A and B are shown apart, each in its own frame.
Chain A
Amino acid sequence: MALLYGLIWRLLLALVRIKRATVSWLRVRLRTWKGRFWQRTMAALLLPVPASEFKQKAGANQSSDGDGDGDGKGAGSRRSRWLSDGISLEKLPVHIGLVVAEEELSYTDIANMVVWCMAVGVSYVSVYDHHGIFQKNNSWLQEEIVRQQHNLLGGDDSTFNMELLKNGTDKPQHFVVSCRPIVKVLSPEDGKHSIVQAARKLCHSVEKKEWSSKDISVSMLDVLLRESKNIPDPELVVKFGPVNSTLGFLPWHIRLTEFVSLPSHKNVSYEDLFGSLQHYSACHQRLGQ
């Protein structure tokens, strides 16, 4: 069953990528067409946002990102702007990891970044610190994210109805049935500890003569790791703080992850985050070839 869910998850990811590639292709072809009309048409045809919500009033004053004025017009235009920023990128990561390598944590700033990530179209955001403090205060962070979602995106949160996954085992259904953005809070336990647990399981199977040691392969270990915690590989990690280390963040999953370092997560701006997304969009991975 786990294999089936894994296959369906990979198929959904592939469909998201095909859709993004199609949007890029159309953008290039329609570049000569002027005006917002074609942008709106593309967005209405290809994006999951209701066309009526995609409003770009000419000359409208766009309120700045950090404002929590909660004003309907400001929130609507901010959401539109962030969404079109996401569309403008050649590629967008499916999973962004926000790794905080600082001792003092700011829940509001992390919550802002989570909301911005989802507003530009990222479907999976993970938050990590190497002491596991965010995970211990998971509910506090969740409340802050919901609060910032209202502040920044307005009262109508039907578009960004996110799933805030709790600690422990993820039910596979979350990834098959739900198309809502997902926020996951991670700690070092999700790293090496998870690999060790999977290793122990495999060794138990060998002890019981269900498998031979020669049967153990990379894909077998990969499937086992994703059975209990189906975390997609992060394409981009934004690391905050002066320490140049991954600090134990998902060692198995980060083999091809792009790393962008920012000095601090405190008072981080939308432009800082978008700059990281632009860096990711511009990078070219050869995958060994």
Chain B
Amino acid sequence: MFHSPPAKPGLTSCRSPEKETFTCWWKPGSDGGLPTTHALYYRKESSETVYECPDYHTAGENSCFFNKNDTSIWVNYNITVVATNALGRAFSDPVEIDVVYIVKPNPPEKVTVTVMEDKGWPFLRVSWEPPHKADTRSGWITLIYELRVKLEEEIDWEMHLAGQQKMFNIFSLRSGGKYLVEVRCKPDHGFWSEWSSTSYIKVPDYFHREKSTWILITVFSTFTFLILMWLLHMNRHNLKHCILPPVPGPKIKGFDKQLLKNGKSNQIFSALVVPDFPPATSSNYEDFQVEYLEVYVRREQELVLEESKDLHNSCLKSESSTSDCDSGRGSCDSHTLLMAKCREAKEGERQTDRECSPMRTEAQRRLKDWEEEALNYAHAGIVSLEMSSGRVKTWPSVFSPLPRYSSSPLDQQSSLQMAKQLSLSTSSYLTQPGHSTKEALGQSYWDLCLSSKQPHLLNPPTPVCRELQAHSDVNISSIGHKRAPAGPRSPALHTTEYVEVQRVDNKDTLLLQPVVQGCGRMGGCFQMPHGEVYSKVKGVDSDNVLLLQREGMGEDRCPCVEQETNEVTGSCHKSCTVSTTQKPSGCIYTAVPVRDEMATMANGYVDTATMCTLHTC
């Protein structure tokens, strides 16, 4: 057997549990086959005295226990272990320690865990005692604690640092769970102790309290959800319309196939006409601005409708006959009897027309615009004519309110102003009273021509009217002039007369008003009627003849009406040769055969083309 001196032992650790005593352990090396003894020697700092371990047994085997008397704090110990056997010695490496740094206390004692309740919610209260050996009361040693908790089935611990306190609360527990709790401690400068023995605790069930609330909430929300679903189901159509609105079909009526099948063309065409346009409101026609219409039926069966100037100057419709100058044509251009009577005015008209012609063409161009503008004036009684060629359209001229016609000159003046205003507002040309100066009239006349903003209510002529227009070769021109009762007529007064359609009331009564007291047309009949001559559509007879009735002061025009009525039957070919010329007042009658489209007349649009000549009285 091989014997050898012992191997070098080694000090494993030295520990002090309470900073008053300490223990050192060593690990012996191989003993070399011989019985080996170990001894521990130590030396205190700054002292050469070597001491041997006072107690080898208290702490177990291979240990050395230093009791209180042998323990000094803040003193460096130089410790060495020597192994000795028969063949030799072996010294371990010296270890220097300072007791204050090797303190490792015992685990806390008397760990108790209880379940307590805080407003219905349970929590754990853990309490413990410091290790009995550690003297924390005198402050010799200061310990801090730490505990850990976990559920029985879990793996990871939940750590809680408790500081120097000896009690701790744990919240957020799972109901019915079983918890494990352990505590350990550490001095302010030292090592952590071992974990205390595990304490078990079971949290009582408070499951039902929690769940009942959730059940209530779930039931309530489900109920609400069902109600909502039911409501949605009931309104699914509405929702569908809301979310996926149906594509609107074309609003254009177009042709109704059924009507086509029925075969009544009248109905078909009437269906195309937009009813209530222009709307025939019951508003006073004072609000309307009606322009004077000059209806001119050309030889070529073309109606040249021009906006007539109601002023004296306006009657300066050029007499450029059937040329395509769409300038205002006076009645002089008419091939009818009126022509002969309008010689006088022709001159003036020609002048003005020439001047105006350039504008005319422009105005002509603006027809389209006027058409659109006409819509804006749907409310006003409008008589519009659309040329078959679609070139010229008539438009009602805005004029002063009807009552004003019969008013005194002052009123007329005011009405003139008003008319002006109205015209301006509606961007239509207002016919100015005749009593204004000629220049002004001329100005207005020009304005009339130039105004591109003239509101021209254009009414799509009814097929009937159009038809009538085509047939008619009567140069119908109506000029309504409002003139001062006593205003002297200027030679420039146009001779054409214009009917001013005041309105069409809801009784389908077309109220007409002579815009121009164009007596000149009649050859000297310039006297301004005192009263306004109103032409009122009396009605439509069975023959679809528009019966006009003259109202208002002034001469009795009944004869005129009657005559016209007689005249106008069927088609408008005939001109209303109402011998009302003797009447000083402007007597304008318009008669238009109205067929089934009379309903459309309610819009206030009268196809003056179909009207017979207007007679001014």
Q: Do A and B bind each other?
A: no
Binding site for A on B (CB under 8 A): none
